[in-house]
């Protein structure tokens, strides 16, 4: 029965290429042969552009669900690891150049200060105040590239931590993964939200519609999670997500209620209002402080993770708001409605 169930659930399809880099990588994954991008060719591309970011996204996905009809052993193919390293170098170099250097505690203090009023740059404020249902659907489709694997990129950090930081991180991850209940896994809750919004709930389904600004955020998590040397930056990224999540989730829950999105759509964000308010305390007092107590030399890396996350979130917000305020889709093509039941429990 289990074998039949697995056979009925193929992995995600390989996405459509967006340029020479992604075309070469995707073609190699299909055939196991061909000319892969060189370091020199990668360096000539925009590190934040869709072509480079899609190539990196596809290589990272080999460590998660993989792709239908792609050999699982390609996860560790030496040829692909060399390409991935060159792509990561270009991405990381640009991030380090663009993120201001400040201390971790100063960066954390900035996260804890919720602006007194909306300055017009916040997606959650916009959606709460005036967002329409089609815009909420687009937002959910784009965020699904992360939320359908919510907490997975952060789980890589656990073997690399000790003491308070490890215990605090494990406690938060336990909640993210449903606290022992498959139906409460946050990725499952997001799939239920998508079903309420008449969106396709399959993992990775909307990658072809996602702009580069979405891919950079998803790739940042994998970049930081997969490298032990970037463990401090991963903690900074995680702190940013957890500390800023609760106020934004409250606004998004209100947007879902105002537009009549559905009970499951409301529940996902309501859950994050409560859970992330608790997580904020744990991540500050146990995870970040525990890490810096054990490894104080990682303070610049924690600050970098906070700054990089803020930079890429701001880029995505600017892109979305520019499109929506012009009354146009932020996706490569408009969404269609799908008829879908609530996803099978345990799928995520």
For the chain, the structural domain boundaries read 2-97, 115-325
Is residue 4 left, alpha or beta, with left meaning phi > 0 and alpha meaning psi from -120 to 50? alpha
What φ, ψ does residue 100 adopt, rounded to 5°? -60, 150
The encoded tokens of residue 25 equal 């990588």
At a CB cut-off of 8 Å and minimum separation 6, what does 187 contact?
Answer: 147, 148, 149, 150, 151, 152, 348
CA distances from 175 to 95, 129, 182, 258, 274 (A): 30, 30, 11, 28, 11
Q: Stretch 252-262: mean pLDDT, rounded?
A: 95
% of the chain surpassing 90 pLDDT: 80
Q: Is the pLDDT of residue 276 over 70?
A: no
Check residue 112 and report its DSSP letter: T
Residue 201, classed as helix, strand or coil, is coil
Please state whether the predicted TM-score (pTM) of the whole model is above 0.85.
Answer: yes
Q: Considering only CA atoms, which of 100, 18, 318, 281 is closest in space to residue 175? A: 281
d(CA 255, CA 266): 9
pLDDT reported for residue 68: 96
Task: Report the CATH number of the 115-325 domain.
Answer: 1.20.910.10
Q: Stretch 18-42: mean pLDDT, rounded?
A: 95
Query: Contact, 207 vs 58, CB < 8 A?
Result: no
Q: Stretch 256-266: mean pLDDT, rounded?
A: 94
Q: How confident is the model at residue 3 (pLDDT cuts 50, 70, 90)?
A: very low
């Amino acid at each position: 029965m289990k074998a039949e169930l697995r056979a009925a659930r193929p992995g995600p399809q390989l996405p459509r290429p967006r340029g020479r880099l992604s075309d070469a990588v995707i073609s190699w994954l299909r055939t196991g042969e061909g000319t892969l991008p060189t370091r020199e060719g990668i360096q000539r591309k925009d590190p934040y552009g869709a072509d480079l970011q899609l190539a990196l996204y596809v290589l990272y996905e080999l460590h998660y669900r993989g792709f239908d009809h792609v050999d699982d052993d390609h996860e560790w193919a030496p040829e692909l690891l060399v390409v991935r390293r060159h792509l990561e170098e270009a991405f990381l170099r640009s991030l380090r150049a663009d993120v201001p250097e400040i201390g971790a505690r100063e960066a954390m203090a900035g996260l804890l200060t919720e602006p007194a009023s909306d300055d017009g740059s916040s997606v959650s404020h916009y959606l709460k105040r005036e967002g329409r249902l089609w815009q909420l659907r687009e937002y959910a489709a784009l965020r699904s590239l992360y939320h359908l694997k919510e907490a997975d990129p952060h789980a890589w950090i656990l073997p690399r931590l000790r003491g308070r930081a490890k215990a605090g991180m494990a406690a938060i991850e336990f909640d993210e993964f449903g606290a022992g209940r498959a139906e409460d896994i946050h990725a499952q809750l997001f799939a239920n939200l998508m079903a309420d919004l008449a969106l396709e709930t399959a993992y990775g389904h909307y990658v072809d519609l996602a702009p580069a600004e979405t891919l950079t955020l998803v790739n940042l998590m994998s970049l930081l999670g997969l490298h032990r040397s970037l463990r401090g930056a991963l903690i900074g990224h995680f702190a940013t997500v957890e500390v800023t999540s609760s106020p934004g989730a409250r606004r998004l829950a209100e947007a879902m209620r105002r537009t009549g999105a559905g009970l499951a759509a409301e529940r996902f964000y309501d859950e994050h209002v409560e859970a992330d308010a608790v997580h904020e305390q744990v991540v500050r007092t146990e995870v970040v402080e525990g890490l810096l107590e054990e490894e104080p030399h990682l303070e610049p890396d924690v600050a970098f993770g906070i700054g990089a996350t803020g930079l890429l979130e701001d880029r995505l917000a600017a892109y979305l708001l520019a499109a929506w305020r012009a009354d146009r889709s932020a996706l490569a093509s408009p969404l269609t409605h799908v008829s879908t039941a609530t996803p099978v429990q345990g799928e995520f």
